[in-house]
């Protein structure tokens, strides 16, 4: 099935390679097909990959510990997870990690540092 798809749509082979690089050994061909949009990709739109990356980041940061830390820092978790694109989310996650470490060490963060 894979080889037939890649014959019909060579961009799907490239997309599957990017999918495997992202998912490592946790993905499946069926999951790839659920995320991949051949029509959009062949028109130059690779937003399916950005959405997939965002889903992975959201699932990794959506833990009770992260929400507890966000609450302690006064960050609204729902707003945090529902706004922005992949790069905004990644930057915010790094800022959250820094703020969390500062809180552990009882360091007061500067007032101009926020996660949003």
pLDDT, averaged in runs of 10, over the chain (116 residues): 79 86 84 86 82 74 69 62 58 74 80 61
Q: What is the DSSP letter of 109?
A: P
Query: HSE of 54 in the Cβ direction (CA atoms, 13 Å)?
Result: 16
pLDDT at 101: 79
CA atoms of 38 and 45, how far apart (whole Å): 9
What domain count does the chain have? 2
b (16+ CB within 10 A) / e for 3-12: eebeeebeeb
pLDDT at 81: 54
Do 39 and 81 reside in the same domain of the chain?
no
The parent domain of residue 2 ranges over: 1-45
Total-model pTM? 0.50
Is 41 domain-assigned? yes
pLDDT at 115: 53
pLDDT at 94: 73
CA quadruple 48, 50, 56, 61: dihedral positive or negative? negative
- Token look-up 């014959």 returns 7
pLDDT at 78: 54
Do 89 and 116 reside in the same domain of the chain?
yes
8 Å CB contact between 96 and 66: yes
Do 114 and 71 reside in the same domain of the chain?
yes
Do 66 and 34 reside in the same domain of the chain?
no
pLDDT at 39: 83
pLDDT at 84: 54
Do 9 and 40 reside in the same domain of the chain?
yes
Do 67 and 39 reside in the same domain of the chain?
no
pLDDT at 85: 56
């Amino acid at each position: 099935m894979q080889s037939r798809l890649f014959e019909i749509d060579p961009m799907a082979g490239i997309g599957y390679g990017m999918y495997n690089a992202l998912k490592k050994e946790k993905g499946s061909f069926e999951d790839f097909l659920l995320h991949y949009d051949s029509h959009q990709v062949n028109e130059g739109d690779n937003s399916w990959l950005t959405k997939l990356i965002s889903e992975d980041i959201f699932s990794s940061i959506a833990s009770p510990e992260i929400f507890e830390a966000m609450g302690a820092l006064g960050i609204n978790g729902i707003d945090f997870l529902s706004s922005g694109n992949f790069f905004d989310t990644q930057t915010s996650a790094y800022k959250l990690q820094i703020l969390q470490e500062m809180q552990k060490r009882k360091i007061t963060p500067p007032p101009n540092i926020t996660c949003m």
